[in-house]
Structure 1
């Protein structure tokens, strides 16, 4: 049974299983030998080397080879000094050299236990980006410690958390001179391009894995917040190995620019501990979606998110006998919302936002979350079997909360 879930903070000091060594095979029973064979065997051990050379010389003579001994023709392994070659531009080695100083391990110790995740340095004075579920996982009043690439440590406090985008910013205390990561643009990412993931899977800090971008705009639903709002985002899917403890670490391009924050994985089984391992299906939150939230958290503001102002559900369609998802069906339109202003009605089926096809309610929510309040988008929808389009100016959940 498959399951998509956020990467839980990896519990510290995991049990390490030591496999039992197999019992040694009993020695073979002694064999009876005829008299004189033992002495002959001993003689063979003592003179075997000479006998071998003599045999080789005889063969070489018959073959017409001028070499008279096997040993004179044997080649041995050469030991060479390869030197410390500079990393090639765009190589995984070059990426690691650039990114590792900007990635940290975060250990959280609270009333609900101890775990660890990863983070990305945003400023030289210690502001660090990570996942909300990393800092929230240990409960209220948890203590945090950040471990840097040079081996130093510092306590940290929470600056702000946004559960809807699984984003958090923390502040490492009494530090300076840190190396901030270079923030890239996820909107320029293409399927198939090489990427590198960096973090602390299973507590193994400074771990680098490589892969490609497997898909874009993959709607990932990892649960709901305390108010029942879904944490859904249009993920970058990658086959770079991502495991528990990688949460909050960066997914970067071959120039070392952060294009996403690793957050969740798909597993074939949850296991006894609820922590499945990598099967090559990892998901990162696009950095273009994360950074506006980061700016608001650092400024001390309440994060805002774009919304249409409708409740939606999946719209299953019968296609040749098979039930397939086909758009997001509008259940209710909030009065005075962006959807209401654009003329949407209950029963409409939204099938596209700009050029992004919508096949499910999660995909609609994830796609809209990729925009900011005030953005204009074109919605395509079906009403009574007829396709229609409308331009809508996205609202803000801040307005909804105020209302």
Structure 2
């Protein structure tokens, strides 16, 4: 029996029985073609929920609450940076059955709002899989789980179904309605994989924002082993002086070079495609920001990039961020 509230209203109006599964899976279609597609989607969601719900936790801290999802047997939890606040913080988590365990905050980034915590009690803990980078597309079906308002065993975990509306850099937008307390909870695809973590909510039903798992994959070791990167850290770190966006193939497309900065002095140009920094592959803006901000003004970096299909490399001395 599933203890959850469905905001996807029409699902509750459809009979539970259905015929043979169509050759093209209904949850992979952009638009359900008939009532049978809806029955199959409903049944498939009901099949996925028990395992997914077991991995969702309510996170309890002194000054608030949030949600998270366990993604390893030893208790590694993905959540939002604003839920953990800082590294080394003692927390408590509650599983769906009410089990309470101690945890500690690890790292993350306020740039994307990605965060990690670790359950300190002995495992094994129920966990779920995370999707690989680049596996989610606009229009994909998804469902959000979380503990809005805090843990409530009688009510259970809240479930909302929706679609991916937009993706850009460190943000995914869906119409899976989020509420206060959902922050840090998981967004799943219809294969039962975590594709994002809830970050920001809005009064508009289609303005729900999440951190894609791509951000976690790209900075896994940093998030797990270093302190939380705050916006204040960006001011203290090195400065390069350019704007960029994720390139459709790989790398970062330079969209602007700031005058009188290390980037301009090095000869970098608009439309160059940044590939790596000190041998570290660049796939997200957050990766570049973390690498640069973790160094100091005066440090030398080696930046590899493409210009008109030609591979180039420049040594650049980082500067101070303008006040």
TM-score of the superposed pair, with normalisation by structure 2: 0.62
Tell me which residue corresponds to 2:71: 122
Tell me which residue corresponds to 1:294: 220
Partner residue of 2:285 out of 356, 360, 368: 368
Quickly say closer, same or farther: Cα 1:311–1:376, change in 2 above 3 A.
Answer: closer
User: C-alpha distance in 2, partners of 1:330/1:375?
Assistant: 15
Is structure 2 residue 133 aligned with structure 1 residue 207? no
Moved more, 296-305 or 169-178: 296-305
Once the two structures are superposed, what CA deviation does each residue of 1:23-53 show, in whole Å capped at 9, x if it has no partner?
A: xxxxxxxxxxxxxxxxxxxxxxxxxxxxxxx
Quickly say closer, same or farther: Cα 1:247–1:92, change in 2 above 3 A.
Answer: same
User: C-alpha distance in 2, partners of 1:297/1:182?
Assistant: 18
Measured after TM superposition, the shift of residue 178 of structure 1 is 0.8
Quickly say closer, same or farther: Cα 1:392–1:157, change in 2 above 3 A.
Answer: farther
Partner residue of 2:125 out of 178, 181, 198: 178
Is structure 2 residue 248 aligned with structure 1 residue 331? no
Measured after TM superposition, the shift of residue 390 of structure 1 is 7.4
Is structure 2 residue 200 aligned with structure 1 residue 264? yes
Is structure 2 residue 142 aligned with structure 1 residue 195? yes
SS in 1 for 2:123: coil
**CA contact 1:154–1:175 (8 Å) conserved in 2:** no
TM-score of the superposed pair, with normalisation by structure 1: 0.51
Partner residue of 1:285 out of 193, 196, 211: 211
Once the two structures are superposed, what CA deviation does each residue of 1:36-92 show, in whole Å capped at 9, x if it has no partner?
A: xxxxxxxxxxxxxxxxxxxxxxxxxxxxxxxxxxxxxxxxxxxxxx89xxx968822
- The Cα RMSD (Å) is 4.2
**CA contact 2:188–2:195 (8 Å) conserved in 1:** yes
**Unaligned runs of at least 5 residues, structure 1:** 1-81, 218-232, 268-276, 314-326, 355-365, 380-387
Measured after TM superposition, the shift of residue 98 of structure 1 is 2.6
SS in 1 for 2:92: strand
**CA contact 1:196–1:251 (8 Å) conserved in 2:** yes
Tell me which residue corresponds to 1:359: none
SS in 2 for 1:251: strand
Once the two structures are superposed, what CA deviation does each residue of 1:210-262 show, in whole Å capped at 9, x if it has no partner?
A: 10011121xxxxxxxxxxxxxxx531110011122111111111011111111
SS in 2 for 1:332: coil
Tell me which residue corresponds to 1:96: 49
**Unaligned runs of at least 5 residues, structure 2:** 1-15, 18-38, 245-253, 275-282, 292-301
**CA contact 2:53–2:145 (8 Å) conserved in 1:** yes
Measured after TM superposition, the shift of residue 132 of structure 1 is 1.1
Partner residue of 2:172 out of 232, 236, 243: 236
User: C-alpha distance in 1, partners of 2:219/2:57?
Assistant: 20
Once the two structures are superposed, what CA deviation does each residue of 1:349-398 show, in whole Å capped at 9, x if it has no partner?
A: x46869xxxxxxxxxxx95236796896657xxxxxxxx8876779999x
Moved more, 248-257 or 158-167: 158-167
Tell me which residue corresponds to 1:344: 268
Give the number of aligned pairs: 246
